[in-house]
Amino acid sequence: MSQTLPLALFLMGPTASGKTELAIRLRQKYPVEIISVDSALIYKGMDIGTAKPDAAELALAPHRLIDILDPSESYSAADFRRDALQQMAEIVAQGKIPLLVGGTMLYYKALLEGLSPLPAADPVIRQQIEQQAQDIGWEALHQELASIDPVAAKRIHPNDPQRLSRALEVFRISGKTLTQLTEQKGEPIPYRVKQFAVMPKERAELHRRIELRFEKMIEAGFEQEVSGLHQRSDLHLDLPSIRCVGYRQMWEYLDGNGTLDEAVFKGVCATRQLAKRQITWLRSWGDLTWLDSEKIDASVETLSNAITSDG
């Protein structure tokens, strides 16, 4: 990439790997501004279960793109790319460096590579699909997708109505499959990006961190937080916000399914699975420098060198 492009830093990693602490440390030393890359932190009123930076942390290091939506609203990778590029441009105009921090790998991919030319949502077609789902069930619609786009059907679970509906909607609007359209790339990011990923050397340590985080969430009142959301008539399990790990399991418990201990166990398991998926993404990621969560001073130094060596 051209040396005339502005610098941007990506700090990625699985959940509970220590990204926020590392970003705040870097913010204390250098003129970086943090942009959150997290599909859960965007929601207002979802603080405990998302491990959102607290008031003290935000005072030390403000985060952009958190608390920007109500949980009843949806937010796409395209929405993130638009908003992130706007925030990055503002930061560079201030003479500072954008530091993008989080674990939503699809957002990073969209930002880095651009987006394929998918059609905008069509409320009429979407409603037709919803009605079909009520009439014949999502399993039958998944079989329809398998006949149209077997690659997408293999990737999308029958119990994922949002993505399944979108795949069918894309085909009905454009006549082309989701797989065909996603193979076409959009505009790459207009920055020189240095990419880093942080996680513990041992997977067991990451699991320990996840369990400890969940314990602290419960102590901080996670059940009460979800209960407040559960009482709202406009929120339900099909929404992306409520399907966030931890929230889904607590919501199901509040629906009367199982005990609180079972909800916590399921939440920890779901968080481990999320971390595993994030690590799988990162293992296949190109041009990535790995940092050790347990050596934060060394990690800060590595990131510092990336800034100072850039001139």
Q: What is the rounded CA–CA span in Å between residue 243 and residue 212? A: 21
Dihedrals phi, psi of 273, to nearest 5 degrees: -65, -40
Q: Which residues are annotated as a binding site?
A: 13-20
Distances (CA, A) of 255 to 162, 185, 219: 21, 42, 21
**What number of CA atoms fall less than 13 Å from residue 49's CA on the CB side?**
32
* Distance, first Cα to last Cα, the chain: 16
Annotated binding site for ATP, which residues? Answer: 13-20
17 to each of 89, 156, 197, 276, 279, how far by Cα in Å? 28, 27, 9, 12, 11
Query: Which parts are annotated binding residues for substrate?
Result: 15-20
